């Protein structure tokens, strides 16, 4: 079983013989001290795929957190996932390998460096004797497997351990400990991580240590000269693919909102390919688009259940239910969500999905345009993409209006769902083009209005679809409760309230569709 947490720490260069004088520590004090002998081996592919994604995979033996560790960055925060060692303590668990599978894409993982660390760790306690941080005094010996270069250094590390500290409180703790360390002669570390220094990526340290620069690696093949249109495809698809690969890791690690965000990026990539339809190889387009769709649908079930939970807890009747009813409904919802996630993981683990990511990697490295897209400049191609998706969106609005006014409720909801999907595709591609600065100046105002319009439709129709998802789940949950002999009264109250809200929403119409 793996576990994860957010890593918040600061590193310092430590003088060879100095020791901090903790008597100067304000409103904090040192607690117990322990010494660990840590033995860590770091892994990456020959192509250094993990390093390119600012991700670390290591096996650590010794210390309270020995095991396999995966560290990665999302939204500027460093996350760490732990997987226990196997009985054969040198073998890599499938769970660790799977965590980084979207980054390695089947390429072999190999040892790249070994670090042996003697760590003296001291708990840092607050005025209530609660541990809020840990101070580590590390003496490190490393070997770079590529070059055989050995390095030795001492560093101090301060890591927050209390999970509920406000940002203001975190900064105060760091500031107070930093003052003590600076008085002992510490300075800010020149390396972002031990592995970076071990691999010769800390030029300042190597210069001070008299270590010569490593010989240049074999030069990579010259990058393909891209046309304007090819550059647009690479600049649009590249960041989306990078996000998909790191969000795959985040979903597997169970990070909050990662399923939702990955679905957005899957939709964005599908929309980019849809807008380029006829300008890419048709077999590539069909295969990759279908694979992305399947992944989005697989994760969609788990995301829908997250939304259902939010809708239920906002319902007026939720507060009126007994504690037993709320617990019963919540347990059923969690059962379904876990089952949906297992199905989602199965798709992410499939060879088909890996092939999709490999194909997208090739697209980003060397887009091959054809037909109408072959000779267009970047901004002309971008304009064509927006026009294509805007036309698709507009074609769906009038049928949806008629369905709301004339059709049966379920038909109306399905028609609105089609509008919303088209609106999302348009919005996401406009945002991607804008981030890459690939929208013509004369089109910026129209693009901004189209994005705002699409976002409005997405939000308004989304509230209706959320209500429908909640009603459908409650109806299914009631059947499960009956089979299990459970009381269905609470589910019935919620179903009645949300059915009424769904009917009212359909009856009042959708102002965003009339703009």
Concatenating the DSSP letter of every residue in 135-150 gives: EEEEEEEEEETTT--E
Pairing of strands 131-144, 109-125: antiparallel
Which whole number is the average pLDDT over 269-277? 96
Instruction: Find how far residue 200's CA is from the centre of its chain.
Output: 29
* Whether 110 contacts 46, CB under 8 Å: yes
Give me the half-sphere count of Cα atoms (radius 13 Å) on the Cβ side of residue 212: 5
pLDDT digits (tens, 9 = 90+) for 165-186: 999 999 999 999 999 999 999 9
Full 3-state SS string of 16-59: CCCCCCHHHCCCCEEEEEEEEEEEEEEEEECCCHHHHCCCEEEE
Structure tokens given for 75:
């939204």
What is the structure's pLDDT at 219?
43
Q: How confident is the model at residue 7 (pLDDT cuts 50, 70, 90)?
A: confident
Q: Is the pLDDT of residue 2 over 70?
A: no
Structure tokens given for 6:
């957010």
What is the structure's pLDDT at 233?
95
Length of the chain: 515
Residue 93 CA to residue 256 CA, distance in Å, equals: 24
What is the structure's pLDDT at 170?
96
3-state SS, residue 349: coil
Q: Is the pLDDT of residue 263 over 90?
A: yes
Closest to 93 in 3D by CA, of 190, 194, 2, 201: 2
Phi and psi torsions of 400, nearest 5°: -70, -40
Mean pLDDT of the chain: 94
Closest to 113 in 3D by CA, of 196, 223, 206, 215: 196
Residue 453 CA to residue 268 CA, distance in Å, equals: 17
Kindly report the pTM of this predicted structure: 0.92
* Whether 34 contacts 93, CB under 8 Å: no
Which whole number is the average pLDDT over 219-244? 85
Closest to 355 in 3D by CA, of 105, 108, 44: 105
Question: Which domains are assigned to the chain?
Answer: 3-186+197-202 (2.40.320.10), 228-508 (1.40.20.10)
pLDDT digits (tens, 9 = 90+) for 15-41: 988 999 999 999 999 999 999 999 999
Which whole number is the average pLDDT over 477-491? 96
Q: How confident is the model at residue 55 (pLDDT cuts 50, 70, 90)?
A: very high
Residue 195 CA to residue 202 CA, distance in Å, equals: 10
What is the structure's pLDDT at 371?
87
Angle at alpha carbon of residue 9, lines to 103 and 125, rounded to 5°: 140
pLDDT digits (tens, 9 = 90+) for 107-161: 999 999 999 999 999 999 999 999 999 999 999 999 999 999 999 999 999 999 9
Residue 74 CA to residue 302 CA, distance in Å, equals: 21
Residue 308 CA to residue 437 CA, distance in Å, equals: 37
Residue 229 CA to residue 98 CA, distance in Å, equals: 35
What is the structure's pLDDT at 89?
85
């Amino acid at each position: 079983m793996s576990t994860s947490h957010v890593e918040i720490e600061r590193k310092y260069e430590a003088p060879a013989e100095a020791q901090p004088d903790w008597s100067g520590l304000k409103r904090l004090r040192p607690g117990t001290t322990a010494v660990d002998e840590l033995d860590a081996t770091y892994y990456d592919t020959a192509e250094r795929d993990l390093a390119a994604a600012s991700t670390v995979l290591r096996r650590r033996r010794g210390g309270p957190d020995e095991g396999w560790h995966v560290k990665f960055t999302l939204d500027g925060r460093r996350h760490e996932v732990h997987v226990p060692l196997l009985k054969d303590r040198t073998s890599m668990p499938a769970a660790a390998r799977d965590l980084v599978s979207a980054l390695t894409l089947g390429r072999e993982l190999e040892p790249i460096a070994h670090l042996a660390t003697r760590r003296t760790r001291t708990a840092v306690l607050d005025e209530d004797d609660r541990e809020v941080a840990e101070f580590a005094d590390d003496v490190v010996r490393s070997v770079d497997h590529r070059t055989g270069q050995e390095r030795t250094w001492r560093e101090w590390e301060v890591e927050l351990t209390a999970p509920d500290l406000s940002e203001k409180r975190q900064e105060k703790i760091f500031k107070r400990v930093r003052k003590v360390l600076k008085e002992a002669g510490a300075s800010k570390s020149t390396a972002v991580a031990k592995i970076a220094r071990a691999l010769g990526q800390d030029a300042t340290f190597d210069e001070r240590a008299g270590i010569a620069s490593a010989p240049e690696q074999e030069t990579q093949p010259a990058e393909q000269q891209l046309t304007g249109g090819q550059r647009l495809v690479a600049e649009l698809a590249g960041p989306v693919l990078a996000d998909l690969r790191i969000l795959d890791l985040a979903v597997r690690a169970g990070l909050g909102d990662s399923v939702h965000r990955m679905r957005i990026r899957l939709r964005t990539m599908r929309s980019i390919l849809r807008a380029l339809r006829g300008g890419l190889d048709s077999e590539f387009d069909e295969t990759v688009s279908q694979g992305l769709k399947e992944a989005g649908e697989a994760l969609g079930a788990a995301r829908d259940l997250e939304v259902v939970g939010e809708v239920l807890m906002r319902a007026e009747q939720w507060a009126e239910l007994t504690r037993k009813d709320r617990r019963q409904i919540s347990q059923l919802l969690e059962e379904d969500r876990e089952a949906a996630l297992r199905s989602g993981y199965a798709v992410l683990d499939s060879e088909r999905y890996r092939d999709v990511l490999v194909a997208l990697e090739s697209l980003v490295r060397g887009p091959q345009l054809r037909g109408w897209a072959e000779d267009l400049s970047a901004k002309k191609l971008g304009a064509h993409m927006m026009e294509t998706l805007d036309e698709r969106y507009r074609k769906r609005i009038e049928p949806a209006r008629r369905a709301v006014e004339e059709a049966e409720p379920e038909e109306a909801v399905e028609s609105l769902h089609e509008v919303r999907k088209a609106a999302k595709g348009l919005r996401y591609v406009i945002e991607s083009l804008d981030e890459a600065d690939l929208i013509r100046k004369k089109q910026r105002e129209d693009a901004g209005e189209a994005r705002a319009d699409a976002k409005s439709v997405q939000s308004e129709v989304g509230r209706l679809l959320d209500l429908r998802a909640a009603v459908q789940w409650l109806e299914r949950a009631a059947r499960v409760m009956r089979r299990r002999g459970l009381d269905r009264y609470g589910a019935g109250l919620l179903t009645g309230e949300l059915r009424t809200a769904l009917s009212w929403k359909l009856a009042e119409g959708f102002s965003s569709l009339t703009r």
